[in-house]
């Protein structure tokens, strides 16, 4: 299972609990990227820029999707990278959909480099709006991430039970 969604949706926090509940491992691709490069994400953005970060992100995320079988939390911008979108095919992608108000309240004051400018609230809302269609297109299921962490966890787990054979109108 792969968790996608914007910054503050709860991918990193929810993913670990979902993995524990399923009895499988958990990887956060941002943590993996920092391990792979030996650098911190804010430093990569500040020194080399966003494009360089996306190239490193493509390398780490495609490796993780290829090698790892548990629950994976992506970074919020992973879906903007074509090589990552291609690698997501065949994975159960759950979109944690957060509203601008709830999501921004969670990440305001954090060290996320894309929110380091003069108007972090406006940037947050604009970037979320810009990416929403990408998350929608890639998702096998969507969960309301404005809920409590516990409720998001339950909703994410429930997406595994709604395959084609569980449909109410399925005669089989």
Ligand X SMILES: Nc1ncnc2c1ncn2[C@@H]1O[C@H](COP(=O)(O)OP(=O)(O)O)[C@@H](O)[C@H]1O
Ligand Y SMILES: O=C(O)C1=C[C@@H](OP(=O)(O)O)[C@@H](O)[C@H](O)C1
Please report where in the chains the tokens 């959909």 appear, as a residue.
97
- Nearest Cα neighbor of 120 from 144, 104, 102, 131 is 104
How far from chain centre, in Å, is Cα 47?
Answer: 24
Distance CA 16, CA 158 (A): 16
Least distance from ligand X to the Cβ atom of residue 145, Å: 6
Feature table: binding site for Mg(2+): 12
Look at residue 117 and give its three-state secondary structure.
Answer: coil
Residue 41 interacting partner from ligand Y, Mg ion, ligand X, none (CB closer than 5 to 8 Å by kind): ligand Y
Locate tokens 């391990």: which residue?
35
Beta carbon nearer to ligand X, 70 or 169: 70
What's CA 33's distance to the chain center, in Å? 14
Shortest separation between residue 54's beta carbon and Mg ion, angstroms: 16
Residue 10-49 contact track with ligand X, rule CB under 6 A, x = bound: xxxx------------------------------------
97 binds ligand X (CB under 6 A): no
Q: How far is CA 53 from the centre of its chain?
A: 16
The kind and range of the H/E element at 71 are strand 71-73
Question: Cβ atoms within 10 A of the Cβ of 134, count?
Answer: 16
Assess 7 for contact with ligand X (CB under 6 A).
yes
To the nearest whole angstrom, how small is the minimum distance from the Cβ of residue 11 to Mg ion? Answer: 5
Q: How far is the CB of 162 from ligand X (least distance, A)?
A: 21
Binding site for Mg ion (CB under 5 A): 11-12
* Shorter beta-carbon distance to ligand Y: residue 41 or 71: 41
Query: Which residues would be at the binding site for ligand X (CB under 6 A)?
Result: 5, 7-13, 73, 76, 106-107, 145, 147-149, 152
């Amino acid at each position: 299972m792969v968790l996608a969604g914007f910054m503050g949706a709860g991918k990193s926090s929810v993913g670990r609990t979902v993995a524990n509940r399923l009895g499988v491992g958990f990887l956060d691709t941002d943590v993996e990227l920092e391990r792979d490069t030996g650098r911190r994400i804010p430093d990569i953005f500040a020194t080399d820029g966003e494009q360089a970060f996306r190239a490193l992100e493509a390398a780490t995320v495609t490796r993780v999707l290829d090698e790892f079988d548990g629950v994976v939390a992506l970074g919020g911008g992973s879906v903007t990278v074509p090589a990552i979108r291609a690698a997501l095919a065949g994975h159960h992608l759950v979109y944690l959909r957060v509203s601008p108000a709830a999501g921004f309240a969670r990440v305001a004051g954090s060290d996320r480099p894309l929110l380091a400018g003069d108007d972090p609230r406006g940037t947050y809302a604009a970037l979320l709006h810009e990416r929403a269609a990408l998350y929608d297109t890639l998702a096998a299921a969507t969960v309301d991430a404005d809920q409590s962490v516990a409720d998001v966890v339950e909703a994410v787990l429930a997406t595994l039970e709604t395959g084609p054979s569980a449909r109410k109108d399925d005669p089989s």
